[in-house]
Amino acid sequence: MIAMEGVLTAAEWEALGLSLRIALVAVLVDLPFAFLAALVLARCRFPGKAFVDGLVHLPLVLPPVALGYVLLVSFGTRAPLGAFLLNQFGIRFVFSWTGAALASAILTFPFQVRSIRLSLEAQTPGLSEAAESLGAGPFDRLVSLHLPLATPGIFAGLITAFAACLGEFGAIITFVSNIPGETRTIPLAIYTAIQTPGGERAAARLAALSIALALIGLVLADWISRRMRTLVGQ
């Protein structure tokens, strides 16, 4: 433990722990909605599908600062929606780690949708038709067929989105500010270190940690995806 404490300072460990918590909450909250969106886009035909598809993937091209501003004016304590949530349910997103999780969830939502959708579209259409002919209803086919076969995409999407959450900066600092112990994630800690005289070593440590976490996430996502495809016979 002493050796580990010598690698990062207490504040840096705090930023790491907060980043991991925000990323975990973001991807787990996203998962059911991402699966539903992927299922609709992969299996359904309806007017305006291209628009819905574009809307789902909008966070990929939207400037994170712009999203942070939209969240700020929507969920701020003086905004109608933010004031309602605070007064009626005691929920406050602005200047809170939960707001950072919300911003991260929105920005990384397309990663999960795209990965799950690719897994669903790779499934043989005849399997669903065969299951339907044997009397399996929509829910039965979802649970016993589509969900298991989409497992590789689900895990790959989860890990990729998790890694992306760890690197989010613009939306978080715009929406929930840079509060030590509350919203200061690793990217914000790097920014703070750069702005602090003599903080170059801390910035270098945190940057190296960010690179390592991102690389581990990408490699792990690829390995799990290939492993799960082997297990489900894809």
Residue 200 lies in a domain: yes
Residue 106 CA to residue 58 CA, distance in Å, equals 10
Indicate the burial class of 55 (C-beta count within 10 angstroms; 0-12, 13-18, 19 or more): exposed
Residue 142 included in any domain: yes
Tell me the pLDDT tens digit for each residue of 122-147. 776 666 666 666 566 666 777 767 78
In a domain, 130, yes or no: yes
Is residue 4 over pLDDT 50?
A: no
- Structure tokens given for 53: 């598809």
User: Is the pLDDT at 149 greater than 70, yes or no?
Assistant: yes
Indicate the SS3 state at residue 151. Answer: helix
One-letter amino acid at 233 equals: G
pLDDT at 3: 39
Q: For residue 115, is it within any domain? A: yes
User: Does residue 2 sit within a domain?
Assistant: no
Q: Is the pLDDT of residue 1 over 50?
A: no
Tell me if 3 is assigned to some domain.
Answer: no
Q: How many domains are contained in the chain?
A: 1
In-domain check, residue 117? yes
For the stretch 10-55, pLDDT in tens is 889 999 999 999 999 999 999 999 999 998 998 888 899 999 999 9
Q: Please tell me the predicted confidence (pLDDT) of residue 137.
A: 66
Q: Please check the confidence at residue 214 and state whether its pLDDT lies above 70.
A: yes
Task: Give the pLDDT of residue 234.
Answer: 55
Cα 226 from Cα 234, distance rounded (Å): 9
Determine the pLDDT at residue 125.
Answer: 65
Q: pLDDT at residue 209 above 50?
A: yes
Helix (H, G, I), strand (E, B) or coil at 96: coil
Condensed to tens digits (0 to 9), the pLDDT of residues 66-122 reads 999 999 999 998 888 999 999 999 999 999 999 999 999 999 999 999 999 988 887
The 8-class DSSP code of residue 8 comes to S
Nearest to 157 by CA among 110, 197, 200, 199: 110
> What range defines the domain where residue 222 resides?
8-43+52-232
Asked whether 177 and 192 are in contact (CB, 8 A), the reply is no
Nearest CA among 180, 186, 158 for reference residue 25:
158
Rounded CA gap, 58 and 54, in Å? 6
What pTM was computed for the model? 0.86
**Which CATH number belongs to the domain containing residue 124 in this structure?**
1.10.3720.10
